[in-house]
Chain A
Amino acid sequence: MAFMKRTGGRNKLAAVMVIAAGLMVTGGGYAVATTVAKTTQSAEYSQAQVDEGKKLFLANCASCHGKNAEGTAAAPSLIGVGAASVDFQVGTGRMPGQLSGPQMFKKDVQFTNEQIDALAAYVASLAPGPAVPTDEAVATNGNTTRGGELFRINCAMCHNAVGAGGALTEGKFAPSLKGVDPKHIYEAMATGPQNMPVFNDANLTPQDKKDIISYLKFVENNPSAGGYELANLGPVVEGLFAWVFALGGIIAITIWLGAKSN
């Protein structure tokens, strides 16, 4: 129904669209489902959700973000950050923040999915912003090769070539992307949480984002061909392993070779 309401409300060809929709339903519900899913945005929120979200916001968020989400010295304005930002920050447990510091940590999620949706509905009602992606937009059936190239150009400098994460300045870090919900990866790219830059749809198109997510899930779900990953942290860990175990083994063998038998 959301599909018809949105299209019909704005478009002079509403009647034609309704007939077309009717034909498509008779032709098969599947076709309609695919057409709707092609958009990257989820359905609109109801007024009840917005009202519920406002109550939750005043009780849990307003002390830092201000009563009208206008921001305070302690926290930024949330006007225009969009539903995707709320869904990411609250859905991964980063918000509400437990203490102020260089970086907000991921922790146990504090709200139910319904409450998160309500909060997202409220923040989205303040001003337009990135919406929560549909399931189709974050499906992992994209082009992993292309996703890998885009990931290495745009993301790997902070998040490591296979998404194992890495250090930034002054205690901040780019978190590991292993085990992160594809929806949250998409939302992080669209909204640029904390110190991460924004990758809007002009920079990384929805297809680009889908390919990147597909690549990340591919490397996460496939074993490394090169043997043990050692947490994928790169040359420091690998070098340390070689120095301690390989060189240690060589020294042990050398001592044994030179020792006399009992």
Chain B
Amino acid sequence: MSNQGKSAAKGGAEHTYEGGLAVIPADAIKDPGLEPHRVRMTDKSPKHERAAVRQVASLFVLSFLGSAFSIYAYFAFPITDDLGSVRSNTLFLGLGITLGLMGIGIGAVHWAKTLMPDAEVSEERHQARSSEADRARALEIIKLADEESGFSRRKLIRRSLYTALAAFPIPAIFFFADLGKDQTNNLRHTMWKAGTRLVKDPTGTPIKASDVTVGSVFHVVPDGLVELEEHMLEEKAKAAVLLVRLDPADLKEDPAKASWSYDGIVAYSKICTHVGCPVALYEQHTHHLLCPCHQSTFDVTEHCKVVFGPASRPLPQLPIAVDSEGYLVAQSDFNEPVGPSFWER
């Protein structure tokens, strides 16, 4: 390897390279050397030098004023009950602190660039290999450590340690099993059950079928969700439903699913089948439901089939009915998992 480097260097350069492992091509770009030194105005003219000194000092003074102003601003713009006071408090405190730090930073850089020596120098890299003495000393330390710990001598400890180290990563292989079938079925079921009343979000008021006039939209959760003490948001994220009433003549229902609606009232999962945003932008006359995240558009008249955008499946429909008191209830849970695709879907 080092031969290659040397011969390549002979090809067209005045330097000899200690090539090491590097491959140096014959047409390597020549070292252009240092560029010619350019004399600054501050070096040539005392007037410019004095100006630069003043600029640097002004920047430091500006920094001082900024710090002082932020102390002033702390007292002059306190946070009160008025929301606007938060805005002026953070704005003026921030401006003061910014000036304080930026003044120091810009001043220091300006000082270095205009007034400190700017002669270009090149420094040779030192040898990467340690000295023979250092290498011998390092070896000596390793040998001493081996001797004192008994690593080579005590076979039982050494071999049991090797076994332990080899076994440690193995459990991770078993953890991959969790990437397989979902044992809990959490993604396939929601809080909805046969007979669960549809209630308004966030009040939990049950909804009579007669309350849902044509063109109405109700944001619905299952009865009991609002009162949940634990995992309320997790359950809501799966069970949220949009309830809409259309003129029954506008619905083009699949005969197999015709019993899922009630007199033009339909209920669909509010969770987008693309990546799970809440789909709730309902247009009363086009009957389109728009997802605000990626513009997937669903047609409510035809079981929320996708008419535009990246979603690949219709929104799952919640089969509904009316109970003896006239309130809307679910016939069952959704008949398919709600929300975006997952590994078994």
A and B held together in a complex = yes
Contact size range, A: 20 to 34
Chain B, residue nearest A150 (CB)? B202
Contact of A262 among B40, B219, B282, B284 (CB under 8 A): B40
User: What 1/0 mask marks residues of chain A from 231 to 258 whose CB sits below 8 Å from any chain B CB?
Assistant: 0000000000000000000000000110
B40 lies within 8 A of A169 (CB): no
B215 to chain A, nearest CB (A): 4
Chain A, residue nearest B240 (CB)? A153
B113 / chain A contacts, CB cutoff of 8 Å: 260-261
Interface stretch of the complex, out of B80-88, B165-173, B256-264: B80-88
Chain B, residue nearest A195 (CB)? B283
Report the Cα distance A226→B88, complex, angstroms: 10
Report the Cα distance A223→B86, complex, angstroms: 10
Chain A, residue nearest B214 (CB)? A198
Report the Cα distance A118→B274, complex, angstroms: 49
Report the Cα distance A169→B214, complex, angstroms: 21
Does B2 sit at the interface, judged by CB under 8 A?
A: no
Instruction: Evaluate whether A224 and B218 lie within 8 angstroms (CB atoms) in the complex, with A157-B280, A166-B292, A261-B114 already known.
Output: no
Report the Cα distance A150→B308, complex, angstroms: 29
Report the Cα distance A96→B115, complex, angstroms: 73
Q: Is the interface of B mostly helix, strand, loop or mixed?
A: mixed
Does A111 sit at the interface, judged by CB under 8 A?
A: no
A203 lies within 8 A of B244 (CB): no
Report the Cα distance A150→B203, complex, angstroms: 9
Query: Of B38, B40, B218, which is in contact with the most chain A CB atoms at under 10 Å from its CB?
Result: B218
User: What 1/0 mask marks residues of chain B from 270 to 290 whose CB sits below 8 Å from any chain A CB?
Assistant: 000000001011111110101
Query: Of B42, B118, B292, B308, which is in contact with the most chain A CB atoms at under 10 Å from its CB?
Result: B292
Chain A, residue nearest B288 (CB)? A169
Does B208 sit at the interface, judged by CB under 8 A?
A: yes
Chain B, residue nearest A200 (CB)? B213
Does A172 sit at the interface, judged by CB under 8 A?
A: yes
Query: Of A168, A170, A172, which is in contact with the most chain B CB atoms at under 10 Å from its CB?
Result: A168
**Number of B interface residues in the complex (CB < 8 A):** 44
A168 lies within 8 A of B290 (CB): yes
Report the Cα distance A89→B292, complex, angstroms: 26
Report the Cα distance A123→B281, complex, angstroms: 29
User: What 1/0 mask marks residues of chain B from 35 to 67 whose CB sits below 8 Å from any chain A CB?
Assistant: 000101110000000000000000000000000
A197 lies within 8 A of B38 (CB): no
B220 to chain A, nearest CB (A): 10
A198 lies within 8 A of B285 (CB): no
Interface residues of B in 1-55 (CB under 8 A from A): 38, 40-42
User: What 1/0 mask marks residues of chain A from 203 to 244 whose CB sits below 8 Å from any chain B CB?
Assistant: 100000000000000000011111100000000000000000
Chain A, residue nearest B91 (CB)? A227
Does B232 sit at the interface, judged by CB under 8 A?
A: no
Does A128 sit at the interface, judged by CB under 8 A?
A: no
Contact of B83 among A154, A197, A198, A222 (CB under 8 A): A222
Report the Cα distance A223→B80, complex, angstroms: 13
Does A39 sit at the interface, judged by CB under 8 A?
A: no
B215 lies within 8 A of A225 (CB): no
Instruction: Give me 11 other A-B pairs in contact (C-beta within 8 A), A170-B286, A195-B283 excluded.
Output: A153-B219, A157-B280, A172-B283, A192-B216, A194-B285, A198-B216, A198-B284, A203-B211, A203-B218, A224-B83, A261-B114
Q: Can you list 9 A-B pairs with a CB-CB distance of less than 8 A?
A: A150-B202, A157-B278, A157-B280, A166-B292, A168-B290, A195-B285, A197-B282, A203-B211, A222-B82
Residues of A within 8 A of B (CB): 149-150, 153-154, 157-158, 166, 168-170, 172, 174, 192, 194-200, 202-203, 222-227, 256-257, 260-262
What are the 6 A-B residue pairs with the smallest beta carbon separation, nearest first?
Answer: A202-B211, A197-B217, A223-B84, A225-B86, A195-B283, A261-B113
